Amino acid sequence: MNSDRRAAYELKSQFFGRICLRVGLTPNSLTFISLCFSVAAGIVLWKANFIWGSVLIVMTSVADMLDGATARAGKMGTTFGGILDHVSDRYAEFFILAGILLSQRVHAGWALFALFGMIIASYTRAAAESMGKIENCEVGAVGRLEKFVIMLIGLIGEETMPGYHILAVCLAMVGVASYVTSIQRLVYTKQVLSERDKR
């Protein structure tokens, strides 16, 4: 998601954040709710129920979107809240992909390929922002939301059209997109650090 789209998204999502505040939800409670949905998604996917698993993945993503929206709407953003959100996101990715792996409906290698790709893309950003002191390294053609959409397509396709290996293809796409994103972030970090050294 580029900076202009990100700014527009953050502005519009505050409407939903204000609704959450009115009903007493805090950013950290929404992060916890999102994590719980991801655990449920992992269990349901493990049982090879890909339709309900897809529904729970959507609920995971919605709750994850709302925690940031609520933090911005109520000016409640904290450093710890940001760290908690990032760590929760990684757990969510693990639970969901572990559920897919344990379902035995796709070769384990594809699930691991996608999982490591998503983790390394996130780690590259975290390393650039913490060690490189880069304000925002959220660059790359494909973000977390887009990867979840690809996985949802694979899950629904696998459930409705078995035998075509749609899930394996989608997991491969998620993995490749993640590794490309990681490389893009490394290149961006190199450019920023090089420009900084010239000053």
Question: Which of 50-54, 140-144, 168-172 is predicted with the least confidence, judged by mean pLDDT?
Answer: 140-144
Please tell me whether residues 62 and 144 are part of one structural domain: no
Specify if 171 maps to a domain.
Answer: yes
DSSP 183: H
> Which helix (H) or strand (E) element contains residue 112?
helix 108-130
Specify if 182 maps to a domain.
Answer: yes
- Three-state DSSP class for 96? helix
Please tell me whether residues 146 and 67 are part of one structural domain: no
Please tell me whether residues 82 and 113 are part of one structural domain: no
| Average pLDDT across the chain, whole number | 92
Specify if 98 maps to a domain.
Answer: no
Q: 32, 61, 88 — which closes off a domain? A: 88
84 vs 11: which has the higher pLDDT = 84
Q: 22, 54, 88 — which closes off a domain? A: 88
Please tell me whether residues 47 and 137 are part of one structural domain: no
Q: What is the pLDDT of residues 174-192, one digit of tens each?
A: 999 999 999 999 999 999 9
Please tell me whether residues 81 and 109 are part of one structural domain: no
Residues near 71 by beta carbon (within 8 Å), at least 6 away in sequence:
17, 27, 77, 78, 81
Specify if 184 maps to a domain.
Answer: yes
Confidence (pLDDT) at 13: 81
Please tell me whether residues 109 and 199 are part of one structural domain: yes
pLDDT band at 5 (very low <50, low <70, confident <90, very high): low
Confidence (pLDDT) at 23: 94
Mean pLDDT within 5-10: 67
pTM attached to this predicted model:
0.91
Please tell me whether residues 156 and 74 are part of one structural domain: no
CB distance 179 to 117 below 8 Å: yes
Q: 88, 122, 154 — which closes off a domain? A: 88
Confidence (pLDDT) at 129: 92
CATH of the domain at 19: 1.20.120.1760
Question: How many C-beta atoms lie closer than 10 Å to residue 160's C-beta?
Answer: 11
Q: What is the pLDDT of residues 106-165, one digit of tens each?
A: 999 999 999 999 999 999 999 999 998 998 898 887 888 899 999 999 999 999 999 999
Please tell me whether residues 65 and 10 are part of one structural domain: yes
Using the structure block, give the residue that is written with the tokens 């990684």. Answer: 90
Mean pLDDT within 62-68: 93
Domain coverage including residue 55: 1-88
Q: Which of 121, 116, 152, 158 is nearest to 137 (CA)?
A: 121
Q: How many domains does the chain have?
A: 2
